[in-house]
Homo-oligomer: A and B are copies of this chain.
Amino acid sequence: MKRNSRLSLALHTLSHMADDPDRVRTSADIADHAGTNPVVVRRVLGRLREAGLLTSEKGHSGGWKLARKPERITLADVYLALDESLVATANEDSDPVCSVEYALHRRVSGVLREIEQSLVKRLGETTISEIR
């Protein structure tokens, strides 16, 4: 696996789950299919659970399952759950050299945030059951 693997892994897994929503899957199963490690899977799916997209059960015969119908989980849900922020840069805590420079900074950041928002909007138009 390479870059952006969190989003890729998440979509991969969810899309797979959408094919048979009631089946419970272990992180080991999922890791096998995705070609990675169970701990990595739990790490990523843990975030999706925090966001209410998945449920997990501990103990014998435990595992992972969709928390709602696949038609009601959008790519935006996934993206936001992972807290990716692909476009917008984090806070730039560089010292504001001069006020003009600071204003320019703010303008650029504003544009990037705007772009990020339009990305999320686009992601909201597709559900995991529509991955074709």
Contact = CB atoms under 8 A, between A and B. Distances in A.
Interface of A: 1-5, 7-8, 11-12, 15-16, 32-33, 35, 75, 86-90, 92, 94-95, 97, 101, 104-105, 107-108, 110-112, 115, 118-119, 122-123, 126, 131-132
Contact of A90 (B3, B110, B132): B3
Q: By DSSP majority rule, is chain A's interface helix, strand, loop, or mixed? A: helix
Contacts of A97: 32-33, 35
A35 to B, nearest CB: 5
Contacts of A108: 8, 11-12, 15, 131
A118 B119 CA distance: 8
